[in-house]
Amino acid sequence: MRLFRPEFCVGVAVLLSFLSLTILMLSSAPNSNREAAATGIARSLQVRTWERDSQAVASSPALLALDSRLESMERHLQELRGPSYAYPQYPAYGPPAMGASQGQMDALVQQMREAFAKSTKENQVAPQHQDYWGGWEEPTTTTPVWQGQIKELREAVERLSHQTDDRFSSLMQPGKAKGEVLEGLCALQMVGRFNALPFLQCDGPDFDPLWRELRVISAAHRQDVMTTAMQLLSSAASKGAEAASSAGLAARHAAQKAREHTEAAVVARKEQYLEVKQYLGALKERVDVNVLRDAGFGRKGRFLRGAKVEALERFVSLSKPIRARVMLALRESTKDAALSDPDMWICVRERTGRLIDLFWDDLTLYLESMVFDAKEQLLNRAADHKVLAEMGSEPMCCTPSWFRAKLLYNYLPFDFSIFGQIKSPLFLLLTLLSITPMFGIRVAFFTIILICIVAGRPPDEYQLVTFILMFKGAQFLSSGVLMACVAAVKYYMCVKADGHHTCDTEGPGVSQDLVTSSVDFFGSCFLVWIAFLLLPCSRSFGGTRDLVEDPESAAVGSGCCEDYDKKRGGRLTGLLGYDLCCFLLSCALIYGLTMVDLASTNHADLQRAATDKDLLLSDLQRWQFRSRVFFGRILYGLLSFPFMVFQLPVLSGILTHTIPTGYNSQGLCVPYLLRPMPDAEGDDGAE
């Protein structure tokens, strides 16, 4: 809260105006009657039927009006003593000059009130009479004692005015706090407030000399008040000038510092420029700049590289129709060569031609994707191996995510081929588990692999296809080839030379548990179909080995199955139908052998053997049933051979329309990209 606020200054100015009006009234002592005294000074005297005397005659109403003015002035003085003009920001100093004149001012007020009371009792006022014209007659008597009392009262008011002016001056002094700046004072506002007072606006030819004298005195007092206000404004301006001078000095100092810093930076840059210029001069003396420019260095080299990139892109775009015509010509020539036999059956001819067309469409798509990837590699837009290896966050040790990342990176890495994988003992151990048909180990191992792949949310299309092909390929090798070899060896060992045999104890499949054999047999079909049903919900993380982030693909990755597509998997749908037929054929083989064996052993017909439940349940405990399940698993494994064709490197991409991917050490599925070749110098140093 500041002392010199606009409302405070206006209040003090109004107080001084009332004091000035009181002094003027006492010094002039205008002649009036009851109505003139009641209406106040603002009323003009229109009826002038007498000549006013130079000595004023006071009446009781005039004294009462003057007493009310003094009471109003006293209230204003009491307001100056109130808490609204306290100094909360400077409690140590207190209000300036508050206690010095307080007792004197109270004594003066009390003296004035006693003088008014005495004059009211002693003064005798003559009655007034109204004339014919409605005017007022001049009083006929005067009291000499009144003039002396008026003089004493005037002196008392003057002393009170001086005390009030001193108090006002003390209140207008600036605070003692260091750096205080007067705020809120405006010269135009102060002058406007003073000019708006009513008693300063009495002017015109109809006013008598008494009122003109009042106007002159009021104008003089107004000039004093304006002078005081201008002094306050001058003090505030001087303090503002000092503050502005200090701010200007600080600004000039800061500008000087900035100029010096800039000059130092310019000098340093100039020294660096001169040093570089010296190096360039020495380089030009030893090297032919034109040869370097022609070789692709500098601005011209960047322009040439940009032109090469643009030319390569245009070349690839222009060569697409040519490639399409070449592929069409090769397809027709291949069909003519395959269907040139005149004795070929019509059904075989139609099927063969249709198969060639389908295969050629897949081959065309595969070649286009390979050309696009080759173009990206030449334009250096392909992903970097280091970037792919560092993608994702490292999982916490010994957590399920950590085991998943280690398992997938060692079994399905993104940067190792089969030649690099066989160097890892862990990969060899995992491969051994994947081809172990006994005790359901193979099915359990691939179940864990499928769970880890699906945990990627969503799973990768290539990884699901690879899982199906690898699982069926492992089934062909383990349940088909390996178990067939084991069955042949065991059958050879259990049949003796004298015609006896020990096949009930040493025969093929006799020593295996029926539960684990059933898990391997049924799991080989169900697990593949689970992976196949997940294909429409998968995504392709291979792309063109470009790491440009796609917001739509990112949004799809956060859901469960938001990008459903039945076309994923390519030609794998027909192959899964073939697998189901093979499974049903193996089950039919086991069931047929069981019926034939039961009918021959119990001397019953096939219908009774098929409907007798007790007979069927009793056969489950015999060694012959375990042997039949063993041979059914062999048949199912051998019929999985077509999946091995799909697992070949080139045919896998052609028939499944997938792009290879792999997992990095963080367990994230990324495009497949082999590690860069090591430098020859590094290899020589290592050797």
> For 625-638, what is each residue's pLDDT tens digit?
888 888 888 898 89
CA 282 from chain centre, in angstroms, equals: 52
Q: Is residue 682 part of a domain?
A: no
* Mean pLDDT of the 596-621 span: 67
Q: Where are the beta strands (DSSP E) in 319-404?
A: none
Do both 286 and 354 map to the same domain? Answer: no
Instruction: Tell whether 650 and 519 lie within a shared domain.
Output: yes
- Percent of the chain's residues with pLDDT above 90: 1
Residue 64: pLDDT over 80: no
Which is higher by pLDDT, 33 or 445?
445
Give the pLDDT confidence score for residue 298 in this predicted structure. 60
According to the model, what pLDDT value does residue 337 have?
Answer: 84
Query: 384 Cβ partners below 8 Å, 6+ apart?
Result: none
Domain termination site, one of 352, 381, 410: 381
More confident residue, 462 or 71: 462
Of the candidates 197, 207, 217, the residue with the CA atom closest to the CA atom of residue 26 = 217
Question: Is residue 641 a contact partner of residue 474, using CB atoms and an 8 Å limit?
Answer: no
- Residue 444 sits in the same domain as residue 534: yes
User: Given a cut of 80, is residue 81 above it in pLDDT?
Assistant: no
Residue 329 has pLDDT above 60, yes or no: yes
Average pLDDT for residues 201-207, to the nearest whole number? 44
CA 272 to chain centre: 41
* pLDDT computed for residue 347 by the predictor: 84
336, part of any domain: yes
pTM recorded for the entire structure: 0.49
Which tokens go with 369?
Answer: 């994707």
Tokens matching residue 217: 């005195």
The answer on 498 and 412 residing in a single domain is: yes
Mean pLDDT to the nearest integer, 42-50: 37
**Rounded mean pLDDT of 527-535?**
86
Position 681 in a domain: no
Q: How many helices (H) and strands (E) are present in the chain, helices listed first?
A: 27, 2
Q: State the pLDDT at residue 116.
A: 56
* pLDDT for 237 beyond 80: no
Beta-bridge partners for 663: 413, 669
Q: What is the pLDDT of residue 143?
A: 47
* Residue 680 located in a structural domain: no
Domain-located, residue 514? yes
pLDDT of residue 315: 73
At residue 311, the pLDDT reads 75
Structural domain tally of the chain?
4
Of 327 and 378, the one with more pLDDT: 327
Query: If you write DSSP's letter for every residue of 317-341 in order, what string do you get?
Result: HHHHHHHHHHHHHHHHHHHHHHT--
47 closest CA partner among 136, 116, 109 = 136
Residue 529 lies in a domain: yes
* Range with the largest mean pLDDT of 292-301, 413-422, 498-507: 413-422
pLDDT tens-digit readout, 164-186:
555 445 544 444 433 333 333 44
Cβ atoms within 10 Å of 262's Cβ, excluding its own: 10
Residue 458 preceded by cis peptide, ω within 30: yes
Task: Report pLDDT for 545.
Answer: 41
Q: What is the pLDDT of residue 396?
A: 83
- Beta carbons within 8 Å of 406's beta carbon, 6+ residues apart: 665
pLDDT tier, 265 (very low <50, low <70, confident <90, very high otherwise): confident
The confidence score (pLDDT) of residue 41 equals 35
The neighbour count for residue 607, using CB atoms within 10 Å, is 10
At residue 437 the predicted structure's pLDDT band, cuts being 50, 70 and 90, is confident
Q: What mean pLDDT do residues 189-200 have? A: 44
DSSP label at residue 204: S
Check if the beta carbon of residue 24 is closer than 8 Å to that of residue 218: yes
- pLDDT of residue 38 exceeding 70, the answer is no
Cα angle at 535 between 529 and 536, to 5 degrees?
125
- Is position 216 within any domain? yes
Domain check: are 137 and 167 in the same one?
A: yes
H/E element holding 295?
A: helix 289-295
Q: Which amino acid is at 490?
A: K
Residue 458 has pLDDT above 70, yes or no: yes
Residue 539, helix vs strand vs coil: strand
Q: Is the pLDDT of residue 618 over 80?
A: no
Helix or strand (DSSP H, E) at 662: strand 661-663
513 pLDDT more than 60: yes
Cβ-Cβ contacts under 8 Å for 591 (sequence gap 6 or more): none
Q: Say if residue 242 is in the same domain as residue 353.
A: no
581 CB-near residues (< 8 Å, 6+ apart): none
How many residues can be counted in the chain?
Answer: 687
Q: Does one domain contain both 322 and 273? A: no
- Bridge partners of residue 375, in order along the sequence: none
Q: Is 169 within 8 Å of 227 (Cβ atoms)? A: no
- Give me the mean pLDDT over the 633-646 stretch: 85
Task: List Cβ neighbours of 440 (8 Å cut-off, separation of 6 or more).
Answer: 516, 519, 520, 523
CA distance linking residue 236 with residue 238, whole number of Å: 5
| pLDDT of res. 609 | 60
pLDDT tier for residue 268 given thresholds of 50, 70 and 90:
confident
The letter for the amino acid at 191 is V
Tell me the residue range of the domain where 102 lies: 6-247
Give domain status of residue 679, yes or no.
Answer: no
- The span from the CA of 316 to the CA of 543, in Å, is 18
What mean pLDDT is reported for the chain?
Answer: 67
Question: Could you read off the pLDDT of 554-579 as tens digits, one per residue?
Answer: 444 444 555 666 666 556 777 788 88
Residue, of 682 and 233, whose pLDDT is higher = 233
Confidence of residue 262 (pLDDT cuts 50, 70, 90): confident
Are 62 and 32 a contacting pair, CB within 8 Å?
yes
Between 613 and 351, the higher pLDDT residue: 351
On whether both 135 and 190 belong to a single domain, the answer is yes
What was the pLDDT predicted at 571?
Answer: 66
Token pair in block for residue 686: 């290592």
Quick one: CA dihedral 666, 671, 672, 677, positive or negative? negative
275 and 306 housed in the same domain:
no
Q: Is the pLDDT of residue 518 over 70?
A: yes
Residues 243, 258: one domain? no
> Domain check: are 216 and 104 in the same one?
yes
Which has more confidence, 311 or 382?
311
Strand partners, 88: none
* Pairwise pLDDT comparison (137 vs 270), residue with the higher score: 270
Give the separation between CA 636 and CA 641, rounded to whole angstroms: 10
**Which residues, other chains included, contact 436 with Cβ-Cβ below 8 Å and sequence gap of 6+?**
442, 445, 478
Assign 313 a pLDDT band (cuts: 50, 70, 90): confident
Helix (H, G, I), strand (E, B) or coil at 303: helix
Ramachandran bin of 298, using left for φ above 0, alpha for ψ from -120 to 50, beta for the remaining angles: left
- Which two three-digit tokens encode residue 615? 């007979």
Task: Provide the 10 A C-beta neighbour count for residue 144.
Answer: 7
**Pick the residue with more confidence: 678 or 95?**
678
pLDDT on residue 22: 57
Nearest to 69 by CA among 103, 43, 91, 37: 37
Residues 362 and 420 in one domain: no
Burial letters 553-583, b for 16+ CB under 10 A, else e: eeeeeeeeeebeeeebbbebeebbeebeebb
CB 540 within 8 A of CB 460: yes
